[in-house]
Each structure stands twice: as structure tokens, then as C-alpha cells.
Amino acid sequence: TVPRRDDGSGLPDTGKDTYAVLANIAGAPVQWTVLLARDRSDDVLGLGASGPLGGAVWNVEVIPVRTAGGSTQTSALLNITHAGTFLDRNVTAFVELYHDGFGKAGRDYTLSELSADLLARLARGRSFVTGRDYLALGSTWEVTPLLQLMPTAIANLRDGSLLLDIQASRSLDNNTALKAGLRVALGSRGSEFKGL
């Protein structure tokens, strides 16, 4: 249970609470996850499965959400992760397809055209994208035991915009790390990553 307060009065507001039950079901070779939740005024069902795929691991999640308005939006993802070596250094790489049921379906749009449900999710940090379908590629590469590079590319499959993100982390001692990054957005005017 996650209780929340009313923004104005500071008093507890049960209409903003979240209640959830999560079950992990061990199986061989597939692991299952079931989530039942009441998030603010939304009813959430999460179904997940993961298992081995050669030397990699696959993960599938399907999350239908029934909103207070009575509509149901379904989000889903498919992720494949593989760990290995590159130039004799440890590397973990992933590819992920993501569908956001609350996302805007069109190619060109503005923030004023986004649904109230999506805007609420953006404001609460539940979502950081505004579109519907995405492909992400990324990795973590240990250049040395103390230096990691983490490149990621996220493509909006509907409008062709692309977000490139490169992070570096250098461990200076047991309690201190130096982090740096570069983020570049590519796409046409009005596209999600370049336009918004």
C-alpha cells in the first residue's frame, strides 16, 4: 500500500492511494509474474513471463489498465537481454519493443493534443514517452573494471524520431563515482523526440 496526501490540504486522500499484490511463480524454464493493483482510480492487471533463449533471456509483459473513465488501455513490452564479452571486456546488451496503450497514435502532434490520462502519467513520472510504439537498443560495456559506457538508442516507430543517449560512469573509490553523459535527439519538426 502506498498512501498519498492531497496536494492542497496535506491530509490523507484515499482516492490517490495505490494498493498492489504481486506474485512471482517459479517454473522451469519459464518464470511468471502476476500483478493486481488499484493505482489511484485505475485498475491494473500485469502479466509477465521470462525465460532463456539460447545464451540470452527474454521477457514479455502485458499490462491492461482500466481507467476511472471506463476505458481500457493495454501496454506491452518484449525484451531480450544477452551478456557476453566485447574486446575481452564484459558487456550486456538488450533490444526491446514497447507499446504504450496511453500514447498518442499519430506522427505529428503537440503537447496540447495529448490525452488527460497520458498527461497525468507524465506528471507522476509513470511515463516518459508520449507516442505509442518504440524500439530500444542499448548496452553496458565495462571498458575497465572501474569505467562503464552505456549507449542507448530509442526510436519512435511511428514518427521516426530517435533519442541517442551515451552515459559513462567512472568509479573513483568505494563511495564516489564520476558520471557524464550526452543526449542527442534526431527527427523531423513535430516529431516526439525532436519536436516536443
How far is 88 from 157, CA to CA, in rounded Å?
A: 34
How far is 196 from 192, CA to CA, in rounded Å?
A: 5
Cβ-count burial of 148 within 10 angstroms (0-12 exposed, 13-18 middle, 19+ buried)? Answer: buried
Asked if 85 and 95 count as a contact pair (C-beta separation under 8 A), the reply is: no
Give the pLDDT of residue 1.
57
Mean pLDDT, the chain, rounded, equals 89
pLDDT at 133 over 60: yes
b/e per residue 5-16 (b: at least 16 CB within 10 A) = eeeeeeeeeeeb
Look at residues 165, 112, 163, 110 and name the one whose alpha carbon lies nearest to residue 134: 163
- Give the confidence band of 118 by pLDDT, cuts at 50, 70, 90: confident
Structure confidence by residue, pLDDT tens digits, 49-75: 999 999 899 999 999 999 888 899 999
The pTM score is 0.84
Structure confidence by residue, pLDDT tens digits, 73-114: 999 999 999 999 988 999 999 999 999 999 988 776 777 788
Give the pLDDT of residue 114.
84
Percent of the chain predicted with pLDDT > 90 = 61
